[in-house]
Structure 1
Amino acid sequence: MDRNLDHPLRTTLVNELHARPSPRVRAPCHAVYLAFKEPREAAARDRSLDVAHLAQLAHRHGAPKPDEETSHYAARLGRYDVTWESHTEFVSYTAIAEGLPARPFDPSAAAIFAADWQARAPGRRVTAVMVRVEQMPEDQSGIERELADWFSVDSLATFWVLDKSALVASDFRIDPDGWMRFAVFVRPDLGSGRTGRIIQRLCEIETYRAMSMLGLERARMLSERLNALEPELAAMTGDMENGPAETTLHRLLSVAAQLESLATQSVFRFGATRAYEAIAMDRVRALREERFKDRQLLGEFLTRRYDPAMRTVKSTEARLNQMLERTGRAGELLRTRIEVERSAQNQQLLESMDHRAELQLRLQHTVEGLSVVAISYYAVGLLGYMSAPLAKSAGIDKTVLMALATPVVVGLVWLGLRRLKAAIHHS
């Protein structure tokens, strides 16, 4: 078959479906899980540092060095099967070993991830989980006594999963050694694949829950800023009708710029929060949990403790968007008001110009009349001087001659000015 027909990314995309297989393990066993995230700009982090940190762990245990461009790594480190995965904002390590520590949830079980190695991680821990997997005893009455010894009863959730093939319990608290603990009791006939998927889903639920909760802190900080800006926006909106429009618009643009900056800073975190919440709830549904006696379900625990936080994030995001929309509408109204005011000013200016033009026209007519008189006066005077000798020889009085010539001169001057005016207009 001609592989040139394939899209350049076809093989990569297919391999992505198989990049994160579920572990296969049988009870009794235990798992240690870590997730590290850069405190800031984690999505744009230098991923080579994550691979270098993984290489240090592999080198300590004589395992093969990971490829520099890899996003998934699996190897046998001592008695642990270790899996490393690189995600958008974090990296995760899962170490699973057969058998159980002598003491339940013994911190020594996490020795595969030494404290000094964790301290040199490029990011900081967002999740640290221990999972203890035992076979289900025939007498289940003893399980509750064990859970009471291991967990805080007031927040303990205990529930069946996968059609009652396993029982899961956790109080979702961090113990003094920094670990969140899960206890899993599986039926003897449960396959290794299902056991591995239970471990994987529990770790994923805690990781994506923790990652989504990062949006809550952003929402709290954002709420403080919005609480400060909202009264200012409300005051400007109230002053729109009577206050100076241009001054109000400048103030409004300042608030709009601050809101846009807040939206730019928060858009990724809020989008990631929605995605992480969706994944976490999808993993909860995949467990197909059922009630164990009168204990609370995982879904019930999340509904009371987790859902309010997610609703806070969503309401804060909606509030920010509403304020942006209100600012945009107010800005449009102010710009419309300014345009109307300027149109009115332009109309007044045009009317003033028309009035001035009319005055100038009247003045021009007045000047034209005076010009006719003035020119006629000088013309009649000149004519008088010129015709004086002729009038004397003809026996006509000079005054009478000038009086007779005056209407003719005035008419000729007026006619000449009219023609000159008409020629100027047509030129």
Structure 2
Amino acid sequence: MSLFEEHPLRQALNDEVHARPSVPLYGPTRISYLAFVHVNGSSDAEHHHLEQLAQQLGIALPPTGKGHVIIDAGDFRLKWERHNEFSSYTFYRDVAPAESEDTTALVTVPAAWRKAIPGQVLVATHLHVLDAKTHPPEARVAELKDPSQMCVVSRFAGNAGWMFSDFKIHDGFSRITVIDENLDRRQAGRNAQRLLEIETYRSMALLAFPVAKAISPLLTEAENELADLMDAMGRAETHEDERDILTRLTRLSATVEQSVARTTFRFGAAAAYHGLVKQRTAELREVRVPGFPNIADFIERRLAPALNTCAAIARRQEDLSARIARNSQLLRTRVDIELQQQNQGVLTQMNKRAKLQLRLQETVEGLSVVAITYYASQLVNYLSKGAKPLIKPLTPEVITAISIPVIALMVALGLRRMKKKIAAAEAHE
């Protein structure tokens, strides 16, 4: 390989394929998952916070530069991942014999450190992986026959596992129960990670919904104002009216474009997160349990309408921006035509004035020829008087009379030649 020039990103791109691996699960496991949204530079404090945990546990902190680490504290394992908008902390703890199902993976995590995690928590979930031999899934299904209780139940991974959850928040956490019938260790880890990612990406996608509801009144007001401006454009009679409408259109365009700039990322991110939710749901390979909704049904029934609203608001916003731009261009065209007509009138007046000036100039040129001829003939007269003995038998008066037409012709020809040179120079420029 030393013979080849290596691309500087080769190793990083190859490592990205192996990044963020799932954690294998060995038997019944308690998993507690926390996702914190980055606010006010909280992501910059995460490395230091993880260092504090490692110091308390008396272990070395693995490098965090790649955005993900796994810390084995003995009593629990922590998987930390940094994403674009949030960071996740997944705690794993093996279940002790005869342990209560109410215990979580956080019981052995230092409470003070846990409370000081930087950022704002958006997702908090307890996921319990149970053994089918000690927790028969059929018996749990039988307990959920009460129609007043809404619960999502599905089998996944080719009927190798069961999933139970109401996706509600109890004491600050949602709860998911996975019953392992025939999952291998890595398969259990991958599917547990998928369930947690579905919870996270669902919540991240829904961040766009309040934004959509907030800007909907603004768009309605802007659409009504645009309709009023179009009516006013049709009634405009003077150039001042059109200029006033154009000013209002420009102000409206700035307001809408400001809204577009503030919301484009959020709506685009919501669509991307929704795609990830559907991908992770498809990867579960769910099998429906009669009488209960599965994850795909529950998520799409509640997530799709909200995100369809976001998509509709985004399209409405872009359409409004385009309409304002088209109408502004139309009005500018009308204003430009008016200005061109005014300019045409000005140019016509200037042309008339130029012709008048040309006639005056020709008159002045004629007077100039007369004046120059007069003064030149006087010079000839003076010269003739001084040289009177030399010009006999001619008299100064005769010499002056003869010189007048010669001088006039020379002056006229000189002025004509000068005008031709000036015209040629202008044409060349």
1:6-17 equivalences under 5 Å are 6-17=6-17
Does the 8 Å CA contact 2:137/2:179 hold for their aligned counterparts? no
Q: Are 1:116 and 2:112 an aligned pair?
A: yes
1:328 to 312, 325, 336: 325
Does the CA contact (< 8 Å) of 1:165 and 1:190 recur in 2?
A: yes
Alignment of 1:361-380 (within 5 A): none
Distance 1:250 1:280 in 2: 45
2:313 paired with 1:313:
no
* Aligned counterparts of 1:199 and 1:119: Cα–Cα separation in 2: 24
**How many Å separate the matches in 2 of 1:284 and 1:262?**
33
Q: After TM superposition, give the deviation of residue 12 of structure 1 in Å.
A: 1.5
* Cα pair 1:48 1:68 within 8 Å, conserved: no
Q: Matches of 1:48 and 1:358 in 2, distance apart?
A: 76
TM-aligned CA deviation for residue 365 of structure 1: 12
1:159 paired with 2:157, answer no
Answering whether residue 328 of structure 2 is matched by residue 350 of structure 1, we say no
Hey, what's the Cα distance between the residues in 1 that align with 2:68 and 2:274? 23
Is residue 2:208 matched to residue 1:180? no
Residue 340, structure 1, aligned to residue 334, structure 2? no
Q: Which is worse superposed, 242-251 or 280-289?
A: 242-251
* Deviation per residue, 1:330-370 (Å, 9 max, x gap): 11101110111011112233344456677889999999xxx
Q: Deviation at 1:56?
A: 2.3
Alpha carbons of structure 1 residues 58 and 228: separation in structure 2 relative to 1, 3 Å = farther
Cα deviation code 1:243-276 (max 9, x no counterpart): 3221111111111112221111112212211111
* Contact 1:55–1:66 under 8 Å retained in 2: no
Asked if the contact 2:246–2:328 (Cα under 8 Å) also holds between the matched residues in 1, the reply is yes
Change (3 A) 1:303 1:48: closer
Name the counterpart of 2:216: 223
Match of 2:95 in 1: 99
Whether the 8 Å contact between 1:105 and 1:130 is mirrored in structure 2 is no
Equivalent residues, number: 375
- Rounded to whole Å, the distance in 2 between the matches of 1:364 and 1:197 is 95
Q: Aligned pair in 2 of structure 1 residues 198, 366: CA closer, same or farther (>3 Å)?
A: closer
Could you say which residue in structure 2 is the equivalent of 1:23? 23
Question: Structure 1 residues 6, 360: CA separation in 2 closer, same or farther (over 3 Å shift)?
Answer: closer
* Correspondence for 1:198: 191
Root mean square deviation of aligned Cα = 3.2
- Cα deviation for residue 14 of structure 1 reads 1.2
2:397 aligned residue: none
- For 1:53-132, list aligned pairs within 5 A: 53-67=49-63, 69-99=65-95, 102-106=99-103, 109-132=105-128
Aligned identity (percent) is 33
TM-score, reference length from structure 1: 0.78
Deviation at 1:112, TM superposition (A): 4.1
- Map Cα deviations across residues 81-123 of structure 1 (whole Å, 9 max, x no partner): 21111111111111112216844344x5423445533432220
Deviation of 1:163 after TM superposition, in Å, equals 0.9
What secondary structure is seen at the aligned counterpart in 2 of 1:241?
helix
- Mean alpha-carbon deviation: is it higher for 97-106 or for 82-91? 97-106
Aligned runs of 1:127-146 on 2, under 5 Å? Answer: 127-137=123-133, 140-146=137-143
Structure 1, residues 142-177: CA drift from partner, whole Å, max 9, x if none? 11245579xx954311011111111111111100x2
More displaced 10-residue stretch of structure 1: 80-89 or 152-161: 152-161
User: 2:61, 2:71 within 8 Å by CA — same for their partners in 1?
Assistant: no
Aligned amino acid, residue 225 of structure 2? E
For the residues of structure 2 that align with 1:222 and 1:251, how far apart are their CA atoms? 20
Task: Report the residue type matching 2:212 in the other structure.
Answer: A
Q: Is the 8 A contact 2:137 2:162 kept in 1?
A: no
**Relative to 1, partners in 2 of residues 1:322 and 1:184: Cα closer, same or farther, differing over 3 Å?**
same
Q: Is the 8 A contact 1:155 1:172 kept in 2?
A: no
User: Counterparts of 2:193 and 2:111 in 1: how far apart (Å)?
Assistant: 23
Specify whether residues 263 and 38 from structure 1 end up closer, same or farther in structure 2 by C-alpha distance, changes over 3 A only.
Answer: same
For 1:220 and 1:287, the matched residues in 2 are separated by 32
Shift of 1:63: 2.9
- Decide whether the 8 Å contact of 1:38 with 1:123 is kept in 2: yes
Cα distance 1:183–1:68, how it changes in 2: closer, same or farther (>3 A)?
Answer: closer
1:281 to 278, 289, 293: 278
Q: Summarize the Cα distance change of 1:236–1:3 in structure 2 as closer, same or farther, 3 Å threshold.
A: farther
- Superposition deviation, residue 196 in structure 1: 0.7
CA contact (8 A) 1:213 1:273 kept: yes
Is residue 284–residue 299 contact of structure 1 (8 Å, CA) maintained in 2?
yes
Pairs within 5 Å for 1:261-280: 261-280=258-277
Could you tell me the TM-score, scaled by structure 2's length? 0.78
Secondary structure of 2:283's counterpart equals helix
